[in-house]
Amino acid sequence: MPLLTTQKWGRVGVMIAAGLLFLAVSASGQANPAFWKLEWPQTDFSKSSVPFDEIFSGGVPKDGIPPIYNPQFGSIAEVDRLYKGTEPVITVSVNGAARAYPLGILMTHEIVNDELGGKPIAVTFCPLCNSAVVFDRNVDGQILTFGVSGKLRFSDLVMWDHETNSWWQQFIGEGIVGEMTGTQLTMLPVRVEAFDLFKERFPEGEVLLSPRGGAGFNPYAGYDSSSRPFLYRGSFPEGIRPLDYVVAVGGEAWSMDLLSKEKRVETDDLVITWESGQNSAMDARNISQGRDIGNVTVQRKEGGKLVDEVHDVTFAFSFHAFNPDSTINK
């Protein structure tokens, strides 16, 4: 959930505000399906796959963080002046069509409902987990439209769909409350890469325009240097900072520190490469001034060539929350 700050607050201000927000939502947002029913009369709370006490309010109502339902795009030439080139974007390519979704814009919207190359997609970003995941919105022939529920589980965005009013866990793409409980969304292989890399790979590609104008910003200045995440109740992984970046592929993850040292990691048919030149989205308020965390490419060997693989560049605590028994290679 966005926590609007200014640079002059610094990290101390962010953590104080985070603590106050945590206390507020903890006091008012405890699991209460009877109360939830007032806001969600069409959600079937008799169906769920997770304990309700793991879900609490992020401090905003349904779509209080406004998703983008009718996205607008510009050419690279039209938006190039807004970007230094090292800012992170989610690059999605479907059937020859390519678009970039800047994290600076997604910070305050979290979900973009779009159609690309004839495929209905949901482009999602949870700032608190630094989790960028893109889903196919076609579920057994039904096209779903996703919004921001205002709820969190393990500090991760809980989405909702307009068609069934079910709740979905963004990190794993699974229905957790309502009619769609247990339904798995299909994740698409995408890259979070520097804007300049998107331009090089797709010179004719389009770029998401902000409804507010500009390139967006990071309302959580200094967040990824904090000692612990906020709006999170759960255990932490051992031997790594909770807010260190990791690259998650299925049930295994590699720390960004390891990848930046090794530059290339191969395991079985999986190939992970790292190169410098991408700002952290969760460091400076002006994302173009964020520290360099690098670009990661995750691919599998298929038929003598490398093919992009589904993965997520996220925080260590987030991977651990959803994969408590899995390995983080450090």
b/e per residue 168-181 (b: at least 16 CB within 10 A): bbbbbbbbbbbebb
Contact present, 308 and 279 (Cβ < 8 Å): no
- pLDDT of 29: 54
Q: Would residue 223 be called left, alpha or beta, if left means φ above 0 and alpha means ψ between -120 and 50 degrees?
A: alpha
What percent of the chain stands above pLDDT 70? 91
Tokens of 225: 């240097």
Helix (H) or strand (E) holding 23: helix 10-28
Mean pLDDT score, 209-223 = 97
Confidence of residue 9 (pLDDT cuts 50, 70, 90): very low
Question: How many Cβ atoms sit within 10 Å of the Cβ of residue 315?
Answer: 29
**Cα gap 65→13, rounded to integer Å:** 22
pLDDT at 71 over 50: yes
pLDDT tens for each residue of 140-181: 999 999 999 999 999 999 999 999 999 999 999 999 999 999
Least confident of 4-8, 32-36, 63-67: 4-8
- pLDDT of 30: 62
Confidence of residue 33 (pLDDT cuts 50, 70, 90): confident
| DSSP line for 32-55 | -HHHHHHH-TTS-TT-BSS-GGGE
CA angle 166, 42, 175 (to 5 degrees): 10
Mean pLDDT score, 19-47 = 73
Label the pairing between strands 305-308 and 295-302.
Answer: antiparallel
The residue count of the chain comes to 330
- pLDDT of 242: 98
Q: Where are the domains of the chain?
A: 7-192, 220-329
pLDDT tens for each residue of 112-130: 999 999 999 999 999 999 9
pLDDT at 17 over 80: no
Query: Which residues make beta-bridge pairs with 222?
Result: none
In the sheet where 264-267 sits, what is the strand order? 264-267, 270-275, 295-302, 305-308
CA 22 to each of CA 1, 58, 121, 147, 220: distance values in angstroms, whole numbers, following the listed order: 11, 8, 32, 23, 15
Mean pLDDT score, 215-236 = 94
Question: How many Cβ atoms sit within 10 Å of the Cβ of residue 111?
Answer: 26
What percent of the chain stands above pLDDT 90? 88
pLDDT tens for each residue of 277-321: 999 999 999 999 999 999 999 999 999 999 999 999 999 999 999
- pLDDT of 133: 98
**Cα gap 52→45, rounded to integer Å:** 10
b/e per residue 223-235 (b: at least 16 CB within 10 A): bbebeebbbbebe
Tokens of 172: 């794993």
231 or 200, greater pLDDT: 200
pLDDT at 24 over 80: no
pLDDT at 186 over 70: yes
- pLDDT of 32: 82
Q: What is the DSSP letter of 144?
A: P
Question: How many Cβ atoms sit within 10 Å of the Cβ of residue 200?
Answer: 10
- pLDDT of 280: 98
